[in-house]
């Protein structure tokens, strides 16, 4: 199961998932000006971040929207970034958040688990119903792929729907988590976690202990760290025995160079330094 690879990567390199949600505006001006075409600068920036962090991070999350916004040239960078991650022997999460049913979902699965945009994991949105998840499952069973499905997200608007109470006096996100846990039972790896994982934001921490207990076999993708306000002590609630989740950070790593005067010339090494700092802070929080 693909989840065993991710579990071992966390054991070896720590919990950090480097988010390559790379806006062109994130690139140091001097670096960007070295290239005739923005797409070349963008790809090279991503490659240098990967080169600097692959041995101190668990995986990478590539948010497709940043590349779609640049049209066909941007999608070429997206494809090449995924390939570069693979060639480094690392794991990639394609952050696509698809949420449709039937043949449409089958095509999304084919698009992102095969061909030009193939990734190890993808993110999906189950709020149209659990039948929106089913077309992806054959890839988990037969092709060593995995999912991270939205459960409780890190944005303030999560309270608009995800926090509504059902007739069983459970919040919507609890119901979704339970259903995903059931689906994931068929895909549990040797590590004890399922390749059907959940996206659980660390910015709503009041019931984190309960969520970790209730969703015992669910591996978490945890957004909300750093720029969104989450801290290492918040993240630690969602981990178990030093594993059980990866913690995404994008801007705090990609823009680490902005904290240092004239840091743009060393953006990759400053990204590495920030990744190590985050990794060590989370490791420390998990044992305190």
Spell out the residues 6+ positions from residue 15 whose beta carbon is closer than 8 angstroms to its own.
Answer: 58, 235, 239, 245, 246, 247, 279, 282, 283
pLDDT at 227: 61
- pLDDT value for 156: 82
pLDDT in tens, 16-63: 999 999 999 999 999 999 999 999 999 999 999 999 999 999 999 999
CATH superfamily of 2-287: Aldolase class I (3.20.20.70)
Let me know if 145 is a catalytic residue. no
CA distance linking residue 54 with residue 51, whole number of Å: 6
The Cα angle at residue 46 between residues 41 and 49, in degrees rounded to 5: 125
What's the confidence (pLDDT) of residue 238? 92
The secondary structure of 24-53, three-state, reads: HHHCCHHHHCCCCCHHHHHHHHHHHHHHHH
pLDDT for position 154: 80
Query: How is the chain split into domains, by residue range?
Result: 2-287
- Please state the pTM of the whole predicted model: 0.95
* pLDDT on residue 91: 98
Q: Give the span between the Cα atoms of 103 and 271, in whole angstroms.
A: 41
Burial environment of residue 134 by CB neighbours within 10 A (0 to 12, 13 to 18, 19 or more): middle
Marked catalytic residue, from 73, 76, 79, 97: 97
> CA-to-CA distance for 257 and 269, rounded, in angstroms?
9
Which conformational region is residue 118 in: left (phi greater than 0), alpha (psi within -120 to 50 degrees), or beta? beta
Average pLDDT over all residues of the chain:
94
What would the pLDDT profile of 181-205 be if each residue is shown by its tens digit?
A: 999 999 999 999 999 999 998 876 6
So what's the pLDDT on residue 234? 85
Residue where the block lists tokens 């090449």: 80
Q: Which two tokens stand for residue 266?
A: 């060393």
| Residue ranges of the chain with per-residue pLDDT less than 70 | 204-205, 227-229, 288
């Amino acid at each position: 199961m693909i989840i065993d690879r991710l579990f071992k990567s966390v054991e070896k390199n720590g919990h950090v998932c480097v988010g390559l949600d790379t806006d062109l505006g994130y690139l140091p001006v001097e670096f960007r000006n070295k290239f005739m075409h923005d797409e070349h600068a963008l790809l090279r920036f991503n490659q240098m971040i990967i080169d600097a962090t692959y041995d101190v991070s668990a995986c990478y999350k590539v948010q497709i929207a940043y590349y779609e916004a640049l049209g066909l040239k941007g999608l070429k960078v997206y494809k090449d970034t995924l390939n570069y991650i693979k060639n480094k022997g690392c794991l990639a999460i394609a952050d696509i958040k698809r949420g449709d049913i039937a043949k449409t979902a089958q095509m999304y699965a084919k698009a992102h688990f095969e061909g030009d945009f193939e990734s190890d994991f993808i993110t999906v949105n189950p709020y149209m119903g659990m039948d929106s998840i089913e077309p992806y499952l054959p890839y988990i069973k037969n092709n060593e792929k995995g999912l991270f499905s939205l459960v409780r997200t890190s944005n303030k608007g999560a309270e608009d729907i995800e926090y509504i109470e059902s007739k069983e006096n459970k919040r919507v996100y609890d119901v979704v988590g339970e259903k995903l846990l059931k689906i994931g039972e068929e895909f549990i790896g040797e590590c004890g976690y399922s390749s059907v994982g959940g996206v659980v934001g660390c910015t709503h921490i009041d019931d984190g202990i309960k969520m970790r207990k209730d969703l015992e076999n669910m591996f978490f993708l945890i957004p909300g760290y750093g720029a969104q306000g989450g801290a290492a002590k918040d993240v630690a609630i969602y981990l178990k025995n030093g594993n059980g989740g990866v913690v995404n950070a994008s801007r705090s790593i990609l823009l680490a160079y902005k904290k240092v005067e004239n840091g743009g010339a060393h953006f990759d090494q400053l990204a590495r330094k920030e990744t190590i700092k985050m990794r060590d802070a989370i490791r420390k929080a998990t044992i305190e």
